[in-house]
Every structure is written in structure tokens, then in C-alpha cells.
Chains A and B, each alone.
Chain A
Amino acid sequence: MILRRLSCHEVRESEEAGFVAWADGALRGRRARRLARRLAADPGAGARAAAYREQSEMLAGLRLALPMNDTPDFHPELVGAVARRLQRVRRAQRAAAGAAVALLALCGVWWAAGPFSPGDGGRLVAGASASAVTRPDLSALGLSAEGEESPVPGVRAWLYRDAQGRPVRVVVAVGEEAMGRALAGLPRTHVAVQWRRGAVSAALVAPGDSPWLAQGMHLVEAALPREEPAVAPVVPAAGDGRTSAPEPASPPETDGRSL
């Protein structure tokens, strides 16, 4: 550690800062007691600190002496408009926070017991082709479908509009890289909820204040193709009353890039 000797000016400034902090009531504990002892012992310092305390009282008095409750000289609608804007912003932020919490909870549930869990047999087709995906029906969310877009080769994307006419997109891709390219240039007003199933990635891109994000994920998920269960449920075998399982279907041959 390099110690530097303080100049007289710096020492004085530090001392004055201590007096000001004491006058403002910003000092606590041992430091406040030490300064109080110093002020009691040094009349000059005590007088300066007393002047600062008087200043603090006058500054606080200014606040009371200037209540500013007269009508401001600007447009009367302005304050109301700003209040409405701030209210909307806070509401949207609360909705987004709620949606994020709901999403996290949903992902947790899915991971533990839902369609993402490895053992349930409800998986997407291994190395799936996005071309097999049909356009998800999001009309239950009040979204109107506008058509399909091709933002990046190998990616499928559908455009919808919400009630305010804002664009909402569903994107399905194979591979993280393709999805990353498809989501590049996302508008700052929008959030992308993205999830992955093996090689297939899906994303729902919507305005940040949309309250239906979790529900939208469900609907998109429902539209994704699923393979037959790898292990079929155990069924009673004919005749002898014992149980047996049929042979699992062999997985489709694919290189995982056949979008």
C-alpha cells in the first residue's frame, strides 16, 4: 500500500466535511462521539460546526418556506400525462415480473414432470424437421395470424398480431445457432421466450408487457410434433394373462439439419 501525505488543504477539507456531516446528522457511532469531543474542546471548530448546523436548519427551513403549491406555469395536462405514462410503465413492469416468475415455475414443473422430462415418452421427434411443424393456433390469446416468414434459411417463423396490432412471432429452428440468427435484431420492446427440446428450439417473441406468455408457450408446445413413445405402455398379452411390451420403434434416420 502506498501512503500519501495529505496537504494542509486536503486535511482542512476533510475536517470541514466531517463538521458538515455532523451538522447534517449524517455521522453515527464512534465517529460522531469523537467529533463531539473535539468540538467541545476546540471553540473555533465548535463555532464552525455550529454555523453549519444553523445552515442545515435554514436549508431545511427553505423547504417549508417554499411549498410551491401554486399552479405551475406549464400545461395543466402535462402532469396527468406523465402520471399515466409512469403508471403504465409500472404496470407493464409488474406484469413482466409476474410472467417471468410464472415462466420459471412452469419450466420447473415441466422439467420435473412435464413433456421435457426424459422418461415420459412424449418427446419431440429426434433430429426433428421443422417442416413438420404446423402453424400454432394462438387465436385463444386474441392473436390474429398474418402468415409465415422466412427470416433465416432452415428456420420457420410465423407472424401474428395482438389486439394493439403489435407483432408477435413464433420461431422454430433446429440448432442453437440457427435460432440465434433468427432472433438477432429483436426489437427492444419485445421479449423472446425460448426453450429447447433436443435439437429443436422454439421461441415466442412478444411485447414485454404481454400477460399471456406462459399460455402462449403451452399452445406453441402443443403444435410441435411428437414421436411415438419410445417404450409403449405395458399391455396384457393375449391368452396367458402375463404382460409384455412391444418392440420400440427405431428412431428415424436424420442428420438433424433437414429443415
Chain B
Amino acid sequence: MSRLLQRRNREAQSAAGAEREERPDGAARAGRRGHEEELLHHVAALRRYALLLVGNPDDADDLVQEALVRVLVRTRVWRPVRDLRAYLFTTLHNVFIDELRRKRHTPVKVDVEGLVDRLAIPAGQTDRLEWRDFVRALSRIPVEQREVVLLVGMEGLSYAEAAKVLGVPIGTVMSRLSRGREALRRLVHRAGPRLRVVDRS
């Protein structure tokens, strides 16, 4: 576990402790469970997005943890949270941008094989080599294009939602998306067709 993750664990522990002390006893237990389930669903999406963004599980969990700590520390009653998914993705994006600025000279190393190993690929569908080419191509497109491709293509956000999360105009989202998808198409195409065994007999 990275040092940053350990530090964040300690911060999270103290923040969680503070929240527990403030928690009122008794009522709204069912509501709390519902909130937790909703949040867990979003946390899975955040971790998946972060994993494909930064390329390895430790850094991805670092990023998600930092985003959750930021939500815990900064969420205030006078700032309404209307769309929880957009709010969480926006926070994650901000944390990611801060990290990028901090590590400006450190290249992001994507563990493509490790990523492909984590994929639960259904048998008989697109084979592992194709997935590997696709994930590798995804890791090679510029990060601001990768963000849009993942938000829209993988997480299913609309162009307007993605624009809100990234804090850019919708035209920028469309432009980054088309350039990212075109780069992805060229990179996958360059990997070339592969020979496949069509008949073992």
C-alpha cells in the first residue's frame, strides 16, 4: 500500500470517527442503509473509472479514497447535492487533476496486463487479445480525451452530464470525445487483425 494511501487511511479514520460521534441514535436506520447501498454502487463506478484512468488498482483506490474524504470534509448543508453520481465524479475529477499537477513530471505507468487480468471476460465473447489491445489503446490516448471516453462510453453519462463533471462546455466534450474515439480506433486498427483458430479439426 502506498504511503499516501496509509496517510489517507488515517485521515479517513479520524473523519469517520468524527462523523460517528455526530450520528444521532435511533431513527432513520433504514434510510441510512439505503444511502449506503446507493453510495456503494457509485463507489464501484468511481473505482472502475479511476482504475482505467490511472492504470493500477493502488493508485485508483488512493484517488477514490481521497475523493470520499473530500466529500466527507467539504459537503455542507447549504450546498445542495442534487445529483449524487455527478457530484462524486466531479470530486474525483478534481482530485485527479490535483494529483496530475502534483506529479507533473512523473509519467503515468499503466499496467495493461494487470488490468486485463482483472477483467471478468465472458467465455466465447471478444477474446483476451482483443481486450488487451483495446485497454492498451485506451491507456495511450491523452488523459483529457480518456476521461470523456470513459465517462460517456463506459459509465453512460450524457454529454451534458460529462460536461458538468469535467467543468467544460458541452462542445469541448463532443470535440474531446470524437478525437479520443478516433485515436482509439486508429490505435486498435494499428494493432492489426490477428490470426484466429477457426477450426481445431
A positions within 8 Å CB-CB of B: 13, 16-17, 19-21, 23-24, 26, 48, 51-52, 55-56, 58-69, 72-75, 77-93, 96, 188-189, 208-209
Contact = CB atoms under 8 A, between A and B. Distances in A.
Contacts of A56: 153
Q: Ordered nearest first, which 6 A-B pairs have the shortest CB separation?
A: A59-B153, A81-B16, A17-B178, A77-B16, A74-B65, A81-B19
Contacts of B198: none
B77 A208 contact: yes
A85 B36 contact: no
B35 A83 contact: yes
Q: Chain B: interface secondary structure?
A: helix
A24 B153 contact: yes
Contacts of A17: 174-175, 177-178
Interface of B: 1, 5, 8-9, 12-13, 15-17, 19-20, 22-23, 28, 31-32, 35-36, 38-40, 43-45, 47-48, 51-52, 57-58, 61, 64-65, 68-69, 71-72, 75-78, 80-81, 84, 118-122, 125-126, 131, 134, 149-150, 152-156, 158-159, 174-175, 177-179, 181-182, 184-185, 188-189
Q: Chain A: interface secondary structure?
A: helix
Contact of B118 (A24, A58, A66, A73): A66
Contacts of B1: 73
B16 A80 contact: yes
Contact of B58 (A62, A73, A79, A209): A73
A62 B154 contact: yes
A59 B35 contact: no
A96 B80 CA distance: 11
B130 to A, nearest CB: 8
A86 B84 CA distance: 9
A79 B23 CA distance: 14
A13 B154 contact: no
A72 B47 contact: yes
Nearest to B18: A81
Given A58-B126, A65-B121, A87-B28, A79 B77 contact: no
A60 B122 CA distance: 13
Contacts of B35: 83-84, 86-87
B13 A82 contact: no
A83 B39 contact: yes
A60 B126 CA distance: 13
Nearest to A59: B153
